[in-house]
Amino acid sequence: MTSDLKKTFLKIMKWFGITIAGILLLMFLLPMLFPGTIASEVKKVANKSLDAKLNFTKSKLSFFTHFPSLTVSLDDLSLTGSAPFRNDTLLKADQVAFGINLKRLIFNNEVKIDKLYISDAFVNVMVNTKGEANYNVYIAPKDQPKDSTDEGTAIRLDRIDFENCHIKYNDRSAKILVDAHGFNYVGKGDLSEDVFDLQTDAEIDSLDFYYDKTPYLQKKKLHADLITRINTNALSFILQKNELRINKLPLEFTGVFTILKDGYKINLDAASQNTTVEDLVSVLPPQYQTWAEDTKIKGRSDLLFTFKGRYNASKNQKPDLGFKFKVRDGGIEYKKSPVPLTDFNMDLSAMMPSLDVKKLTLDVKNFGFKLGEKDYFNAVLQTKGLSEMNVNANIKGALDLKTLNAAVGIPDFDMRGILKTDITANGTYSDSLKLFPKTKGGINLQGGWIKTKYYPNPITNITFVASILNNAGTFQDLSVAVTPASFKFEGNPVYVNAAVSDFSDMAYKARIKGELNVGKIYQVFSRKGLDVTGYAKADLSLNGRQSYATTGQYSKLDNKGTIILKNIKTTSELFPKAFVINEGLFRFQNEKMWFEKFTANYGKSDFALNGYLLNTINYFLESHGTLSGNFNLKSKLINVDEFMSLKEGENKDRKGDVEVAKEENPKMSGVVAVPKNLNVSLVTNVDKVEYNGLVLNALAGKTGISKGQLYLENTVFDIIGCKVGIDARYDDETPLAANFDVHFRANDFSVKRAYNEIPMFHDMVSAAEKTEGIISLDYQLKGDIDGNMSPIYESLEGGGTINLRDVKVTGLKLFGSVSEKTGQDGLNNPQMKGIDIKTTINNNLIHIEDFTFKVSAFRPTIKGTTSFDGLLDLKLRLGLPPLGLIGIPIVITGTHEKPEIKVFSKTGKEILDAEYNTKTNKVVKKDRRKNPEPETKK
């Protein structure tokens, strides 16, 4: 190499080194040059752009956190959600970093965030049953041009990077739950354009997917290689190249997803074409993976999933869900079973328009397999609708269940017996139109035998012969016979023979005899609830028609026999604890089911019942039947608090509205739920009732449940040393709301004890704090109850009379202030006897009619309004001696604690009332004055 070349090369290396050094120096200096600007800009952006609480421990500006990007890093960041989830976490992360556009920072001194890095985070996306989401935390700039479309706010980020995150999406309105652990995601795109392609690489270590509480994926690995075209102005995602792999199963996604201001719009196709059934089995829940490892699985499969339409909870718009699944030439052989399952073919499709299960269409064009040389099963089924369902079905099979169990290898389950079935059905099912598909066929099981690993002994000698026939396609022509059904468990046989015909006026004839250890037979089928115990014995003969009971033709019924229960433990989603039936002897006699001896416990509460239920057979035969009856109820203690529907208790598997309400309102106990299918009257005698800190003694009277409402008639009880008479009605509307109306009468009780021990009296008669003596009360009220079983005062309406038999008021600031203003010491501690005070209540206000009392030589007359918030608007006429013919007008405003007294005045300060909206569960303040004074801002 010549000397000139050496010099040139050294100069290049020198300047290259200087450049690198300069860049590195700049990387260290820039964070020092702009720290104030960037810190202030980040705070400004957060304050302007987020309608949520943002907290972090520290921040730093560096090129080296996510080299070579200049990033602002926020450590230990937490962000709450938008209403109604302002107290719930939306994002919690060890670190969140925002990439800064370096060009704009240097040349324009402008902070432009174009990258987002989130690491070791929990992202908790929540949507409640009303469709309200917690992610609407971004506030659009006021100067942003309005768009006539419904699309949401635009987002502009060049890079999105999630590292080792936990993402949970819980949409209760759509009944979807997605839970992803170990979520790693990198998305890149050029956001210089309004429409750009986002390249995505994603890995999920463990993915769970639930729809309507049913798991479809559990703990599955996922890899995604995606190209998504994004319209930033409309926040629309076009899925172009989207290849996923869930465990071994490949999936391809195509479609469009657009986030709207009031929901979303979607057109999505997901397909897995011509894959192996073995790959498909790899996405089954974890408990089946061991089974799959011991099983040879053959066949090819096609899978197609579609999700198309618009979601808007307020307009009740939901997308259409579609599913297609095919299996060709399938086969299953478990642990080299002597006879494999072969020729397995399936062609299934389903469509659920608007996610409405009532519109579900199911089409099983083919479902069949062979088992050895003789055994087979074939089924064809088409249904459309639910409440009014079109049905076309043809099911035939002859199977040795022991051979089938060996070939398939159902985990932890052993069955035997010869099962034959041959059923055809074609027509319409409609309960309202009394239509039933034309049907012919039956099921025959002989030598049945079931055993699980959860209990050492099997259920044996299972025989089940059932036939069904309907030639005309109506309820009237339908007949079903079970002759016989029997089994033996733990040496105890159970027999059932039954025949039912003419479902328009059901004729039934049944014979049931046997006894069971309920706890042990429960263990055969379940691991959960092993503490369930109990014994049941039945000896029943039932013969009659529905109309005999409903029309009072009881003499035509021939129902007789007994059922004995002991130590039975039962649960219901309505109640948080379990009912335990200690002993129950039930005797059937025609239309009545007598409770001859019945004792039970619920938590601390105990019950002893005797009486009868009417038409119990008819109740079980009807789809919406109601149980009627009359009982005598005795109890030593009933604790109402334990019945609140959201209370924590033994029943951990409650479902439906109660479970949703509990999760969305964890700080509420819920209201007491009343069964909707009871029409029962009880003559009640209870030693003690506990409710919200109150203790009621010796409660006696008539209590009833009818149409989902609880009522009390002519009921009396002792409280605070006083006997109270009450008539009341209670109705639970949801697990978090109820309403009531009540009329109560209480004579000669201590006002001091009532103020200290009864919360509602404390709030309604706040002046009683400084009062001693004996009063009586006759009052009617109606209103609403909140999710903690407390009255909502803004909803209360009613009125009544308070009688002051002998009451002394000591140290009340109201009378003290009047005494001070007027210079009359005699007014300070008045004593009132034989005075009736009439009041009415509505919209959070208590209106007091004028009443006069005598104190010293004066005759004060009081009337006006107070509120449950403690505000006063009272007018007092101070009648002067000798006969009070001349009076001084006085106005009292302010509060009970700080009354404001104006002497020789008649102008008060009207209190704003408040209305409670039961639909929105919100309180609205109302100013009903004709010319209200403008409020002064403090």
CA–CA dist 63, 101 (Å, integer): 12
Question: Considering the chain, what is the average pLDDT of its residues?
Answer: 81
CB-based contacts of 111: which residues, under 8 Å, 6+ apart? 37, 38, 41, 42, 45, 100, 104, 105
- Give the highest mean pLDDT range of 382-396, 578-592, 707-721: 382-396
**pLDDT at residue 69 greater than cutoff 80:** no
What number is the average pLDDT over the span 432-450? 94
Cβ contact 579:600 at 8 Å: yes
| Span 521-548, pLDDT tens digits | 766 665 454 455 778 899 999 999 888 8
Cβ contact 727:743 at 8 Å: yes
Cβ contact 844:914 at 8 Å: yes
Nearest 5°: phi and psi at 495? -125, 140
> Identity (one letter) of the amino acid at 624?
H
pLDDT for position 842 = 92
Weakest-pLDDT range from 286-295, 529-538, 584-593:
529-538
pLDDT for position 11 = 65
Q: Which two tokens stand for residue 567?
A: 């130590």
CB-based contacts of 728: which residues, under 8 Å, 6+ apart? 711, 712, 715, 740, 741, 742, 743, 744
Q: Three-state SS for 369?
A: strand
pLDDT for position 913 = 82
Q: Which two tokens stand for residue 806?
A: 């002998």
**pLDDT at residue 154 greater than cutoff 70:** no
How far is residue 683 from each of residues 607, 680, 702, 710, measured CA to CA in Å? 13, 10, 5, 13
How far is residue 762 from each of residues 746, 759, 920, measured CA to CA in Å? 16, 5, 28
pLDDT for position 151 = 47
What pLDDT band is residue 930 in, cutting at 50, 70 and 90? very low
Weakest-pLDDT range from 129-143, 198-212, 669-683:
129-143
Weakest-pLDDT range from 166-175, 183-192, 893-902:
183-192
Q: Which two tokens stand for residue 762?
A: 């404390």
CA proximity to 601, closest of 619, 626, 575: 575
What pLDDT band is residue 387 in, cutting at 50, 70 and 90? confident
First-to-final CA distance of the chain? 86
Q: Where are the domains of the chain?
A: 26-137+155-232
pLDDT for position 265 = 87
Q: Three-state SS for 380?
A: strand
What number is the average pLDDT over the span 294-310? 90
Weakest-pLDDT range from 310-314, 749-753, 923-927:
923-927
How far is residue 373 from each of residues 156, 341, 343, 437, measured CA to CA in Å? 65, 11, 12, 33
**pLDDT at residue 361 greater than cutoff 90:** yes
| Span 629-660, pLDDT tens digits | 899 999 999 988 887 655 555 544 444 555 55
pLDDT for position 286 = 67
Percentage of the chain modeled with pLDDT above 70 = 79
CB-based contacts of 38: which residues, under 8 Å, 6+ apart? 61, 72, 100, 105, 111
Any idea which residue has 């040393």 for tokens? Answer: 721
What pLDDT band is residue 369 in, cutting at 50, 70 and 90? very high
pTM for this model (two decimals):
0.64
pLDDT for position 497 = 93
What pLDDT band is residue 462 in, cutting at 50, 70 and 90? very high
pLDDT for position 742 = 93
pLDDT for position 552 = 82
Weakest-pLDDT range from 12-21, 259-268, 827-836:
12-21
Cis peptide before 68 (omega within 30 of 0): yes
Q: Which two tokens stand for residue 831?
A: 């004593």
pLDDT for position 653 = 47
More confident position, 683 or 42: 683
pLDDT for position 514 = 92
